Structure 1
Amino acid sequence: MSSKIELPLRLSVMVPPAGVTLALQRGKDGLLGPIEDSTDALVFEFSLVVADLAATPVRFTGEFAQGPAAARFVYVRSGTLAGQPDAAWTRRAKVPLWGISAELVQATLESGRALEARVAGTAKDGGPFFASVPLLTPWTAG
Structure 2
Amino acid sequence: MDKAESVCMHRNYPMESHPSIPIGNIRLVGPLARSGYSLVMGREQQSEIAFRIVIEQPVPGVLHSLQGKDDRPLDPKASRMGEALAFDFSVRVGPGPKFFGDQVRREGPERRFVYIRVGQMAGDAASPWSRRMKIDIHDIDQELLDAAAKDMRPIEIAIIGTGKDGTPACATVRPTMRRIA
Q: TM-score range by the shorter chain?
A: 0.7 to 0.9
Contact 2:104 2:114 in 1 (8 A): yes
Aligned equivalent of 1:70, options 110, 113, 116: 110
CA drift at 1:110 = 1.4
CA drift at 1:5 = 2.5
Larger Rg: 2
Q: Does residue 128 of the first structure (1) align with residue 174 of the second (2)?
A: no
CA drift at 1:40 = 2.0
Q: Does residue 22 of the first structure (1) align with residue 64 of the second (2)?
A: yes
Alpha-carbon distance in 2 for matches of 1:91, 1:35: 15
- Name the aligned partner's letter for residue 134 of structure 2: K
Q: Which residue is equivalent to 2:143? A: 103
The within-5 A match list for 1:1-142 is 2=42, 3=44, 4-33=46-75, 39-50=82-93, 52-53=94-95, 55=96, 58-68=97-107, 69-137=109-177, 139-142=178-181
Alpha-carbon distance in 2 for matches of 1:118, 1:48: 17
For structure 1, list consecutive stretches of 5 or more residues without a partner in the other structure.
none
Alpha-carbon distance in 2 for matches of 1:61, 1:25: 14
For structure 2, list consecutive stretches of 5 or more residues without a partner in the other structure.
1-40
More helix as a share of residues: 2
